[in-house]
Amino acid sequence: MKIFPAIDIKNNKCVRLLKGDFNNQTIYDQSPFEQAIQYNKFGLTNLHIIDLDGALTGELINLETIKKIIKELKINVEVGGGIRSLKNIDTYVNLGVDKVILGSAAIKNPSFLKEACEKFDGKIALGLDTKKGLIAVSGWKESTNITAENFLEEVNEFGFSRLIHTDIERDGTKTKPNINESLKLAKISKAPLIISGGIATIDDVKKIKTLKEFNIEGVIVGKAIFDGDIELNELSEIVSA
């Protein structure tokens, strides 16, 4: 199983949002690069980065920070946040990003998702972020009436290589992941699924590891690491086991 420690970047700082609320954020002392170094030291070779400035502006605001992490640490990075053009995807791919996450832009314009998958084979991850099963977009500020299952069935043949499901109401809360909802999507998805949102303890991670046969590729862990509820050596042991 792949474990993706999360780094959300805003104003070149590591931050964590509560349920995606930009008005409810915790700012941490470590720089994104310093945090990535710590993950790398413990043999965690996959990293989930969200450019929150990019999510707000549609520009690649933290490109140099992400470039430094990839170049100096040789780590597999999936990155998202306001990626709305093929040009921006191309920039990230040329930078060495492993997966480029398309969320709002893909939901609002499925043909963009399809074109991206065709042009950047094996490099596109689809992010489905939900509240009570319905997709939310635009930095989670805008709700839709589209269920994750219905949208997935519409785009399932497009060829994205990873699906990331985040339960927004659990993100940053450490109230346990919504495994049941993620499994519903995993059973449909042509691509392996990453579970995100609500991880509280190492037992949550261990439980998800038992789900590999259900098309679950891995898990994203964020606030529980920053708050010390999960130690990096615990995650390292799971990865190496």
Catalytically active residues are: 8, 129
CA distances (Å), origin 116, targets 68, 121, 150, 186: 25, 8, 20, 22
Could you tell me which of 197, 115, 120, 182 has the C-alpha nearest to residue 152? 182
Give dist(CA 46, CA 77) in Å, integer: 6
The three-state DSSP-derived secondary structure of the chain is CEEEEEEEEECCEEEEEECCEEEEEEECCCCHHHHHHHHHHCCCCEEEEEEHHHHHHCCCCCHHHHHHHHHHHCCEEEEECCCCCHHHHHHHHHHCCCEEEECHHHHHCHHHHHHHHHHCCCCEEEEEEEECCEEEECCCCEEEEEEHHHHHHHHCCCCCCEEEEEEHHHCCCCCCCCHHHHHHHHHHCCCCEEEECCCCCHHHHHHHHCCHHHCEEEEEECHHHHCCCCCHHHHHHHHHC
On whether the CB atoms of residues 50 and 79 are closer than 8 A, the answer is yes
